[in-house]
Amino acid sequence: MTNTHDIFLSYSHNDAEAAAQLHEWLKQEGFTVFYDKKQIQEGEVWLDRLQHAVDACGSFVVLVGRGGVGRWVGAETQAALSRYFGPP
């Protein structure tokens, strides 16, 4: 499978400001980043889009803020780990 993005950025919406800054910095460094605010369009089946993005990314970055790991960050991380440790 060809990587759609270099990096999937997982973050809690409580950390949206830090995620936006990290997203911009990674883009400036030349990486393509799956960032939900930019890649998921209104009306799109977002859960399918997230799963595809996790499956197709080259790397997975988890931003853990003061609030810790939220429910969806945990789910996205689990999907990424399953991809890596699951059957080829």
CA-to-CA distance for 40 and 37, rounded, in angstroms? 6
pLDDT, tens digit, for every residue of 11-42? 998 999 999 999 999 999 999 999 988 887 77
Q: Per-residue b/e over 39-67, b at no fewer than 16 CB within 10 Å? A: bbeeeeeeeeebeebbeebeebbebebee
pLDDT: which is higher, 6 or 1: 6
> In sequence order, which residues have a C-beta less than 8 Å from that of residue 25 and are 6 or more positions away?
none
Instruction: Look up the pTM and report it.
Output: 0.81
Q: Which two tokens stand for residue 79?
A: 């999907």
- What ranges do the domains of the chain cover? 7-85
pLDDT at 47: 79
